Amino acid sequence: MGRITDDETPLRRRRPRRRRHGGVPRFQVQDTLGHVDSSFTASVTVVIGTNPLGGRLSGTLSVAPVNGVALFGDLTIDKAGTGYTLNATTSGATGASSASFDVIATTP
């Protein structure tokens, strides 16, 4: 059994509302030795972990990893706030939580 890790913590510091820039959440699937498992193909799913203001996560919530890395390029959260986290899960690996990040409101 492997595990999922938060691959790029700094990219999760700010997530814009209803926009697609500001960082792409990435989670690595690792083997039991801590190496990226590039042959892992089961879908990785993300949900909001810590949700300080009841925000709703939208976008593609389940993706197949490529070379052991699951990229979530179109996620948005509909309420601005501080201290959000994402939880990633998949079958056959231990889940992971992202570092906390802020959602910054944007003007329409």
Q: Which domain holds residue 67?
A: 2-104
Integer Cα distance of 82 and 53 in angstroms: 9
**CATH assignment at residue 21:** 2.60.40.10
Residues 6+ positions from 54 with CB-CB distance below 8 Å? 79
Integer Cα distance of 100 and 85 in angstroms: 5
- Residue 10 pLDDT > 50, yes or no? no
Dihedral (CA of 64, 65, 66, 67) sign: negative
How many folded domains does the chain comprise? 1
Residues 45-90 pLDDT 10s: 999 999 999 999 999 999 999 999 999 999 989 999 999 999 999 9
Secondary structure of residue 75 in the 3-state scheme: coil
- The predicted model scores a pTM of 0.79
